[in-house]
Amino acid sequence: MLNILYRDEHLVVVNKPSGMLVHRSWLDKGETRFVMQTLRDQIGQHVYPLHRLDKPTSGVLVFALSSEVASKMMPQFAEGQVKKAYHGIVRGWISHAGQLDYPLVEEQDKIADKHASQPATAKAAVTDYQPLATVELPIATGRYATSRYSLVAMQPHTGRKHQLRRHMHHLSHPIIGDTTHGDGRHNRVFREQFNCHQLLLHASEMTLTHPASGETVFIHAPLDTVWQHVIKQLGWKAPASSYDN
């Protein structure tokens, strides 16, 4: 059963589990669980995804309950009118908030894009980030006797594929659990020390305009048990919802 965060006659929002695909894909034939099909069976009606979350990313995922609502909502997401907030745990200490404006070339799939006739061009990609907490562990990695980590809040202004994972990698602060853009030594630390076998990137909050009423809708997705365990072990407090202020 998926955790439903918000539902009315127009929209339904779930807290997507890490490791679950949004919908069936021929690129991942081994998967048997999908958010779309699970949610459809759970609420007994068709759902229409309005945006995407990577398979390993958890958090806020929004669906329309009709094709008409989907058509009305899609421009909000396409034009960057929806505000999104993420949390992640990264390698190293981030001492100051900042904004990264670093264009990204669309990552092409080896199978689906192998016949692409032209190389992809870089597109604008902008991410704000703020450090929330840091820790230094007495665990050696590489040439260092200790390991440092930061809890970071991130707000993407654009929606490029793997944007946050690639931007944090560019800053030399890869997200823990990222097997594509991350650091395998530090991923191993979290597997062995905290039994954490997932990407520590969570879509925590979203602000959008309701398609019928025009009112602002705020959605907050709680952290899963793995996240809660890791944060407790690191001696941090779970990040508060900005809507509690």
Residues with catalytic annotation? 54
CA geometry: angle 79, 84, 87, nearest 5 deg: 150
Q: Is 196:116 a contact under the CB 8 Å cutoff?
A: no
Q: Which token pair is 214?
A: 């025009």
> Which backbone phi and psi does 144 adopt, to 5 degrees?
-100, 140
Burial 5-43 (b: 16+ CB within 10 A, else e): beeeebbbbbbbbbebbbeeeeeeeeeeebbbebbeeeb
